[in-house]
Amino acid sequence: MHKAEIYFNDSSSINGYYLDIETPNHCPHCHTKIFPVVIGHSDITETETFPIFTVIFLCPSCKNHFVETYNKIKDKTFSIGYKPSNTIDEEVPSKIKDFFPRFYNIYSQALTAESYGLEELIGIGFRKSIEFLIKDFLIEIKKFSVDEISEMSLQNAINKIDDIKTKTLATKIYWLGNDETHYQKKHEDRNYTDMKIFIKLLYSYINSELTYLDAESIEKK
């Protein structure tokens, strides 16, 4: 393991101090064995466990940057690696998350792919997410049989939806999703950005229906 010294300012004194870190020996971009160059680092942040800081490295081989986060425990440092977290859509209503956790998980993974610029994977993820949203909606809310819906093509499942706007929206997302999956693209003026806008509206419609059913279920007393 190679080490580097990181200098921190100390607000309580004129002089700062150095901490030793072990530098990563592989580049996460080009996967070659490297001695990375330290480009910069964050301040130390207090957390519920140990204080943390993050160091930015440059790969001398492929010239890409990457980061690594460290715990500071007394005057020692320990890498806790780089842990990417899922990107989330904060607008997703709680009813949608509760009723359709599989949709929410896949949709969040697709958004994470988007945040990493993995353009070839985003639309495929969106396409898969609505399959779970539509099929679980039909099974959980519309009480279709699990066996019937599970085996059905997504288009046939969408055709079971009675609300015309929800059905149309789901169909169009499905078409655009097929473009993201197939070799030849049919709707060249559209892409995953359109899919994302339509998915937000689709889960809003489904949320409206859940909210309506909740109100409808109130008995007169």
List residues near Zn ion by CB under 5 A: 27, 29-30, 59, 61-62
Length of the chain as a residue count: 221
Q: Please give the angle made by the CA atoms of 18, 23 and 28, to the nearest 5 degrees.
A: 140
**Phi-psi category of 63—alpha, beta or left, where left has phi over 0 and alpha has psi -120 to 50?**
left
**In this complex, which beta carbon is closest to Zn ion, that of residue 29 or of residue 142?**
29
In the complex, minimum distance from the CB of residue 16 to Zn ion, in angstroms, rounded to a whole number: 30
d(CA 138, CA 158): 9
Tell me the three state secondary structure of residue 101: helix
Identity at 31, one-letter amino acid code: H
Helix (H) or strand (E) holding 59: none
Question: Smallest gap, in angstroms, from Cβ of residue 52 to Zn ion?
Answer: 24
Q: How far is the CB of 34 from Zn ion (least distance, A)?
A: 6
CB 56 to Zn ion: min, Å:
14
Q: Spell out the alpha helix ranges (H) of the chain.
A: 94-99, 101-115, 119-136, 146-151, 154-159, 164-181, 192-216
Q: How far is the CB of 69 from Zn ion (least distance, A)?
A: 19
187's tokens: 């709707």
- The least distance separating Zn ion from the CB of residue 29, rounded to whole angstroms, comes to 4
Q: 6 with 18: CB under 8 angstroms?
A: yes
Pick the closer one to Zn ion by CB: 61 or 71.
61
**Closer by beta carbon to Zn ion, 24 or else 125:** 24
Q: Mapping DSSP to helix (H, G, I), strand (E, B) and coil, where does residue 37 land?
A: strand
